[in-house]
Structure 1
Amino acid sequence: NNGYYVKLLVLSVPEDKTRILEAGKSAEFLGIELKIVGDKSQVSQFSSSELVSIIDNEIEEFDPSYVFTHWENDAHKDHRIIYKAVQSS
């Protein structure tokens, strides 16, 4: 991470905890913080305003210099939803 403080937000928690464990191991390997901020198994279960509020709160708390998110035409529906919420934040 080149000395930068990086925070990775997870907005959905799958019922199978394997993906969360893998994300935690990856974050540790990369030297970044993993923060789970969602409590639903699919991003599509959130309203747009809920997602924007969650992201707004994290941006306000963390005050990042840069925000990276998914590509707007990502094949995964949840990733496209997150892209739109980040753009609205």
Structure 2
Amino acid sequence: MADRTKQHLVIYKGAVKAFEGKVGEKTVAITGLDAGTVVAEGDYKIAWSDGINESDKVNVPTFTVNSVKTKPEVVANVKATPTNDGANVTGE
């Protein structure tokens, strides 16, 4: 396995350098995409860089950006039934 302590990952979108990781780390994030976006294999390419030279670029595999978790619907038909020490509250 190659020594990556002085290298970092770079991601390209077309010919444009879009994202760079930190030196010595084996991870780089693609950010800013909308929830549910489907990225096809090869839309992004990744390479190692030492700051001067870069390895050959390889395709980033296909992925789908996670969907944003949506809030549950607002509670409707709220009812409070008095008890001896407070109330029982129901909703739909």
Structure with max Cα Rg: 2
Q: Hey, which of these two has a bigger chunk of strand by percent?
A: 2
TM-score by length of 2: 0.21
Higher relative contact order, structure no. (Cα contacts within 8 Å, ≥ 6 residues apart): 1
Q: Hey, which of these two has a bigger chunk of helix by percent?
A: 1
